[in-house]
């Protein structure tokens, strides 16, 4: 289709414009990590990005002056790093507060099981879409490559998110003239965001009340200046508390200043001599750069000098070991806590300022991800917080409930819930800063107690950026339903024009367990009976998962119109789960007509330092064929390929995974290869292979080729 290789196209664009890869990535609205992989020839972008790059090259070759520092607003999603000014049209004195509002915020924004306009809006949307929308006759060719480098993706934490600009590409291709979109497993609501930006109406369904709330907020509108004023208002009211609990003395000028964070380390006992010591003192190891600093997994006991394994040590209590602040120096200071710091902590621990009405008082049930915190004494969601941070969170939560405007209060709660694990004992301290967002509840030996107010302000800016960029392009309408996908009672037969969904991936993430922090604050919990996951605590094995997915996809088949499409994004490392999801799709009545790759362009630090952490999901294009014409799945006539045959037939270079921020040679990107192999196997009804087995077979094959 195109004469030049993409890596040559990128090189010529950079040469002609005098820019660099980071600037070009911002201009295109893609991630720097993805662009570097394309420019190296490791992998190729999707069809849309390929076309965009080639069109840009033609403009450059024609001598047109293009400012790459002004990003393309493709799909109207603003790239991270391009700030939007907020016009202060709402004053703080216009924000009304009272003590008479319900203690449950959800009572104010949820109508039964429906959010965002309730049954009236749902009926209106269904009535306006009583006739089917035009769609395409064949599955859309070409994968999607879309990263998390947008304000919207950054606005709120969730365990998994499909980049909405990628979903928007799919929606526009399958509904060229618009229509009604549905997502039965909406998660954080990215399908809703994509549908609204592309001018489509959308119905979202989620079993989790917390995820339903997040979906509702992502698809709601709010004037950025109003939210800014509301944040400022409640912060002024809480300023005395902030100064009382988050204050430290500058070691240089002696003035009181805002405490940014406190690092806590568990004391541990030597497994050989039972000597108790602070882990922080013995396990730190400093490299040449901050990225090379680390905590040792093995080190000698300071008393008996026997080699100890950190993971095997018994914990006793956590103590503060480091505080961080910024005052009269340009550099952030990180020092040991002094007597005043310790006194502040002791005073808070001995005080009784907590309001029980605004606490996440919920005992942890049994669970796959909940056993680890319970082993370390975190038996209630309240225990996830230091006393200081629990006090700050509860006072913030109480103040948010005082805001009389329901939409503003809900958006303040949206900011509040975006803090998630960042302000808990689950936030592992990292020398280089930031916080991870792994989909489990690991209680680290050394954790970071972040200033709740500072963290809230930072997340507020991210959400205000989202409101000032993506949201201003919303055109459609959205209703969110809280309920199981196994029984979608709010939708009649043959009522939606396109389904795009990212369902649970077997046992990969235990959503109801991971949502317990949010739901404890919101005081509304997931009914796990029909949660479609593999979870031994819920007594759900792969058979039960397949049964629940079949029921859910059968409901999708029922509500989707004839000859219309369901696009399902999925990834798993288990051949058993792959076989089961394929059976569930086909047993529900769908025809899988095409499989290709949805590359989310992951580029986290974990990916740079770990072996093949990131992978590309598969995008399954499934059609609800009419009873009179059922197409045969594409590729059935082709012979299924073994791993070796797949690699032998593959024409492209072997993809590699670069490490851009550490001094490490690139590795073979086994996960991209695995995604490509699964796509071939799926369409050819071939034998599925576990990722671990696939990786070994790739290594053996390449050894045989002398590579």
At 78 the pLDDT is 63
Residues 381 and 430 in one domain: yes
> What's the mean pLDDT in 561-584?
91
DSSP string, 260-284: EEEEEEEEEE-TTT--EEEHHHHHE
User: Do the domain assignments include residue 669?
Assistant: no
Burial of residue 209, with CB atoms counted within 10 A of its CB: 0-12 exposed, 13-18 middle, 19 or more buried: buried
HSE-CB at 101 with a 13 A cutoff on CA atoms is 22
Pair 591, 643: CB distance under 8 Å = no
- 124 with 266, same domain? no
The last residue of a domain, from among 602, 634, 666: 634
pLDDT at 564 over 90: yes
Burial category of 309 from C-beta neighbours within 10 Å (exposed 0-12, middle 13-18, buried 19 and up): exposed
Kindly state the DSSP code that residue 374 receives in the 8-state scheme: H
Measured between its terminal Cα atoms, the distance across the chain in Å is 30
Task: Assign 313 to helix, strand or coil.
Answer: coil
Angle between helices 452-468 and 387-402 (to 10 degrees): 40
Q: Considering 56, 72, 88, which residue would you say is the last residue of a domain?
A: 72
Alpha-carbon dihedral sign for residues 17, 19, 20, 23: negative
pLDDT in tens, 428-457: 998 877 666 677 889 999 999 999 999 999
pTM (2 d.p.): 0.88
**Domain co-membership, 21 together with 53:** yes
Residues 281 and 473: their CA atoms lie apart, in Å, by: 52
Among the listed residues 335, 355, 311, 153, the one whose alpha carbon sits nearest the alpha carbon of residue 252: 335
Determine how β-strand 496-501 pairs with β-strand 560-570: parallel
List the beta bridge partners of residue 285: 294
- Does residue 491 belong to any structural domain of this protein? yes
pLDDT at position 557, please?
98
Residue 246: Cβ within 10 Å count:
24
pLDDT in the model for residue 571: 85
* Residue 114, phi then psi, degrees to nearest 5: -110, 145
pLDDT band, very low/low/confident/very high, at 609 (cuts 50, 70, 90): very low
CATH number at residue 116: 3.40.50.150
How does residue 605 score in pLDDT terms, banded at 50, 70 and 90? very low
User: SS3 string of 92-121?
Assistant: HHHCCECCCCCCCCHHHHEECCEECCHHHH
* pLDDT per position as a tens digit, 374-399: 999 999 999 999 999 999 999 999 99
Same-domain check for residues 167 and 26: no
**Rounded to whole angstroms, how far apart are CA atoms 16 and 29?**
20
Do residue 178 and residue 256 come from a single domain?
Answer: no
Per-residue model confidence (pLDDT) at position 657: 67
The reply to whether 398 falls in a domain is: no
Buried (b) or exposed (e) across 40-77, using 16+ Cβ within 10 A? ebbbbbbbbbbebbbebbeebeeeeeeebeebbebbbb
DSSP secondary structure code for residue 225 in this structure: H
Mean pLDDT, rounded, for 363-376: 92
B/e letters for 11-24, b = 16+ CB within 10 Å, e = fewer, are ebbbebbebebebb
**CB-side neighbour CA atoms (13 Å) of 702:** 16
444 with 482, same domain? no
Residue 88 has pLDDT above 90, yes or no: no
Across 24-33, 68-77, 495-504, the highest mean pLDDT is recorded for 495-504
What CATH code is carried by the domain that includes residue 22?
1.10.260
User: Are 357 and 303 in the same domain?
Assistant: yes
CA 321 to centroid of chain Cα atoms:
31
Task: Answer whether 393's CB lies under 8 Å from 423's CB.
Answer: yes
Residue 236 domain flag? no
For residue range 201-221, list pLDDT tens digits in order. Answer: 999 999 999 999 999 999 999
**Bridge partners of 324?**
261, 334
User: What does the pLDDT read at residue 608?
Assistant: 38
Which of 201, 194, 190, 222 minimizes the C-alpha distance to 122?
Answer: 201
Residue 664: pLDDT band with limits 50, 70, 90 = low
- Asked whether residue 199 falls in the same domain as residue 271, the answer is no
114 occurs within a structural domain: yes
Q: Is 318 helix (H, G, I), strand (E, B) or coil?
A: strand
If asked whether residues 444 and 480 sit together in one domain, one would say no
The answer to whether residue 647 sits within a structural domain is: no
Sequence-distant (≥ 6) Cβ neighbours of residue 235 within 8 angstroms: 242, 453, 457
- 410 φ, ψ (degrees, to nearest 5): -65, -35
Identify whether residues 182 and 326 lie together within a single domain.
Answer: no
d(CA 270, CA 304): 9
Could you tell me which of 235, 181, 171 has the C-alpha nearest to residue 203?
A: 181
Residue 598 has φ and ψ, to the nearest 5°, of -110, 100
Is 604's pLDDT higher than 50?
A: no
pLDDT at 85 over 60: no
Q: Are residues 14 and 160 in the same domain?
A: no
Query: How many helices (DSSP H) and strands (DSSP E) are in the chain?
Result: 25, 22
How many C-beta atoms lie closer than 10 Å to residue 628's C-beta?
7
Q: With bands split at pLDDT 50, 70 and 90, how would you rate the model's confidence at 613?
A: very low
528, 370 Cβ separation under 8 angstroms: no
Query: Residue range 524-537: average pLDDT?
Result: 92
Last residue of a domain, which of 634, 667, 702? 634
Q: Which carries the bigger pLDDT value, residue 548 or residue 628?
A: 548
The values of phi and psi at residue 657, to 5°, are -110, 110
- Segment 309-335 mean pLDDT: 94
Domain containing 264 equals: 252-390+419-450
Number of domains in the chain: 3
Lowest-pLDDT range of 173-177, 541-545, 584-588, 649-653: 649-653
Give domain status of residue 680, yes or no: no
Q: Which ranges in 305-431 belong to alpha helices (H)?
A: 339-349, 371-375, 387-402, 406-418
- Considering the domain boundaries, does residue 672 fall inside one? no
Same domain, 164 and 295: no
């Amino acid at each position: 289709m195109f004469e030049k290789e993409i890596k040559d196209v990128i090189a010529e664009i950079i040469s002609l414009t005098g820019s660099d890869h980071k600037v070009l990535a911002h201009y295109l609205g893609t991630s720097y990590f993805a662009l570097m992989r394309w420019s190296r020839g490791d992998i190729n972008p999707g069809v849309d990005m390929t076309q965009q790059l080639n069109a840009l090259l033609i403009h450059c070759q024609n001598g047109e002056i293009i400012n790459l520092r002004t990003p393309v607003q493709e799909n109207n999603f603003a790239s991270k790093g391009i700030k939007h000014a907020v016009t202060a049209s709402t004053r703080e004195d216009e924000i009304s507060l009272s003590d008479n509002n319900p203690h449950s915020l959800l009572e104010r924004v949820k109508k039964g099981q429906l959010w965002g306009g309730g049954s009236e809006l749902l009926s209106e949307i269904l009535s306006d879409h009583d006739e089917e929308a035009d769609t395409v006759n064949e599955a859309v060719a070409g994968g999607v490559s879309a990263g998390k480098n947008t304000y919207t993706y950054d606005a709120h934490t969730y365990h998994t998110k499909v980049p909405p600009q990628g979903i928007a590409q799919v929606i526009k291709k399958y509904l060229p003239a618009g229509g009604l979109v549905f997502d039965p497993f909406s998660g954080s609501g990215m399908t809703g965001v994509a549908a609204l930006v592309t001018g489509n109406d959308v119905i979202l369904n989620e079993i989790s009340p917390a995820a339903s709330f997040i979906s509702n907020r992502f698809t709601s509108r709010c004037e950025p200046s109003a939210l800014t004023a509301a944040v400022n208002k409640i912060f002024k009211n809480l300023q005395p508390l902030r100064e009382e609990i988050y204050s430290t003395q500058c070691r240089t000028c002696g003035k009181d200043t805002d405490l940014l964070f406190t690092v806590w380390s568990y004391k541990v006992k030597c497994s050989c001599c039972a000597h108790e010591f602070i882990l922080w003192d013995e396990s730190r190891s400093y490299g040449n750069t901050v990225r090379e600093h680390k905590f040792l997994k093995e080190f000698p006991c300071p008393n008996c000098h026997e080699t100890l394994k950190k993971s095997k040590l018994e914990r006793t209590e956590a103590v503060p070991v480091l505080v961080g602040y910024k005052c009269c120096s340009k550099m952030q200071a990180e020092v040991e806590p002094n007597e005043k710091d310790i006194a502040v902590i002791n005073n808070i621990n001995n005080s009784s300022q907590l309001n029980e009405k605004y606490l996440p008082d919920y005992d942890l049930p049994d669970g796959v991800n909940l056993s680890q915190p319970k082993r370390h004494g975190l038996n209630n969601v309240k225990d996830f917080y230091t006393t200081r941070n629990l006090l700050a969170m509860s006072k913030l939560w109480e103040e948010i409930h005082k805001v009389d405007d329901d939409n503003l209060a809900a958006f303040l709660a949206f900011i509040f819930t975006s803090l998630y694990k960042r302000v808990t004992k689950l936030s592992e301290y990292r020398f280089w800063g930031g916080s991870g967002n792994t989909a489990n509840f690991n209680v680290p030996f050394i954790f970071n107690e972040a200033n709740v107010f500072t963290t809230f302000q930072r997340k507020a800016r991210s959400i205000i950026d989202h409101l000032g960029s993506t949201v201003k392009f919303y055109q459609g309408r959205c209703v969110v339903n809280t309920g199981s996908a196994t029984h979608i009672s709010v939708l009649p037969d043959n009522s939606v024009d396109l389904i795009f969904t990212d369902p649970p991936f077997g046992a990969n993430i235990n959503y109801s367990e991971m949502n317990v922090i949010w739901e404890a604050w919101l005081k509304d919990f997931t009914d796990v009976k029909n949660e479609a996951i593999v979870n031994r605590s819920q007594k759900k094995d792969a058979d039960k998962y397949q049964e629940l997915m079949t029921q859910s996809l059968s409901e999708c088949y029922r509500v989707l119109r004839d000859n219309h499409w369901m696009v399902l994004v999925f990834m798993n490392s288990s051949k058993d789960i792959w076989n089961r999801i394929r059976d569930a799709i086909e047993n529900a009545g769908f025809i899988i007509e095409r499989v290709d790759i949805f590359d989310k362009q992951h580029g986290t630090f974990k990916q740079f330092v770990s072996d093949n952490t990131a992978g590309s999901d598969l995008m399954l294009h499934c059609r609800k064929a009419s009873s009179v014409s059922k197409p045969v799945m594409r590729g059935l006539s082709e012979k299924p390929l073994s791993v070796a045959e797949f690699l032998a037939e593959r024409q492209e270079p072997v993809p590699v995974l670069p490490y851009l921020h550490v001094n490490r040679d690139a590795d073979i990107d086994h996960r991209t290869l695995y995604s490509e192999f699964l796509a071939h196997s799926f369409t050819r009804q071939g034998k599925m292979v576990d990722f671990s087995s696939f990786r070994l077979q790739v290594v053996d094959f390449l050894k045989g080729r002398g590579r």
